[in-house]
Copies of this chain bind each other. A is one copy, B any other.
Amino acid sequence: MDNQYLQTINGDLWLTEDERENLKISYRIKEVLFSKQSPFQHVMVLDSYDFGRMLVLDGVVQTTSIDGHIYNEMISHIPLNLHPNPEKVLIIGGGDCGVAREVCKYDSVKEIDMVEIDELVVSACKEHLPEVSGNLSDPRVNFLFIDGVKYVENKQNEYDVIIVDSSDPIGPAEQLFSKDFYTNLYKALKDDGLMVCQSQSPVFHLDVLKRSYSHIQSLFPITKLYTAVVPTYPGGLWSFTIGSKKYEDVKSDNFSKDTKYVNQAILEGCFKLPEFLQQALK
């Protein structure tokens, strides 16, 4: 049962995230449901005591059944409520299928291209993490198991909304935070399109957030930052940045999708930033 990421201590199984030099978080684990090396990373689905089932990539928790919906709802419903009529949506990353699941809740959406480099993440989540993936089987979702950075290089004027659901900007995901990549997203969007990306922790990675925000601000006429609380991410507070060619305000005044976190109050409140963040973006 043990591998390099799991340890047995006094008969209990523990996963310890130790990518950070000065902070370690350990989760007590009930059961290893899936564990396999893909060409890109080590993929596990674990059942934990406090957070339910968890997707773990290279030993780092990515999403859990207890709070995965918060991140996935926030990165999906906010941009889809800024755009008045999203029909064609591109998701880059998002292998846990939670974003695609949320996007499928919009009848206006006709087509969803989901570009995820690692097919093993998708198959593992569909089978072992139904709380997040929803066993996704909507025919509007077109899976493409290729590199998202390469995919957008030659796209022009094609998408209404692009959602970048990346992991941390270390290793392969680093390019998903580069100005070249955002430039290609701008081109891939229609004249009134908009994009969103996760822009990391305002507490621990304010430098990444500011760089990413500044790249997007230099390309798009409208740039907006919003936050949510994701309990399993260090620091809890997480940021998302929107780059929009035309639409600026939330359209809905009576949000009523089937959600656990997002509602009309959150749609309006999520753009209200604490003072240190307002200062950091000046």
Q: Which A residues contact B (CB, under 8 angstroms)? A: 14, 20-28, 48-50, 66-67, 70, 203-204, 227, 229-231, 233-237, 259-263, 265-266, 268-269, 272-276, 278
One complex includes copies of this chain to the number of 2
A26 / chain B contacts, CB cutoff of 8 Å? 23-26
A234 / chain B contacts, CB cutoff of 8 Å? 231
Instruction: Tell me the nearest residue of chain B to A14, going by C-beta.
Output: B24
A263 / chain B contacts, CB cutoff of 8 Å? 274-275, 278
A260 / chain B contacts, CB cutoff of 8 Å? 274-276
Q: Are B22 and A48 in contact (CB under 8 A)?
A: yes
Indicate whether A274 sits within 8 Å of B278 (C-beta atoms), given known contacts A231-B203, A236-B235: no
Q: How far is the CB of A50 from the nearest CB of chain B, in Å?
A: 4
Indicate whether A268 sits within 8 Å of B262 (C-beta atoms), given known contacts A25-B23, A26-B24: no
Instruction: Tell me the nearest residue of chain B to A228, going by C-beta.
Output: B274
Return the 3 tightest CB-CB contacts between A and B, nearest first: A236-B236, A269-B272, A22-B49
- Interface CB pairs A-B, < 8 A, 6: A26-B26, A235-B236, A262-B274, A262-B275, A266-B272, A266-B273
Q: How far is the CB of A258 from the nearest CB of chain B, in Å?
A: 10
Indicate whether A272 sits within 8 Å of B268 (C-beta atoms), given known contacts A26-B23, A229-B236, A231-B236: yes
A274 / chain B contacts, CB cutoff of 8 Å? 70, 260-263, 265-266
Indicate whether A265 sits within 8 Å of B237 (C-beta atoms), given known contacts A26-B26, A48-B22: no
Bound together, the chains give a CA A272 to CA B14 distance in angstroms of 36
A48 / chain B contacts, CB cutoff of 8 Å? 22
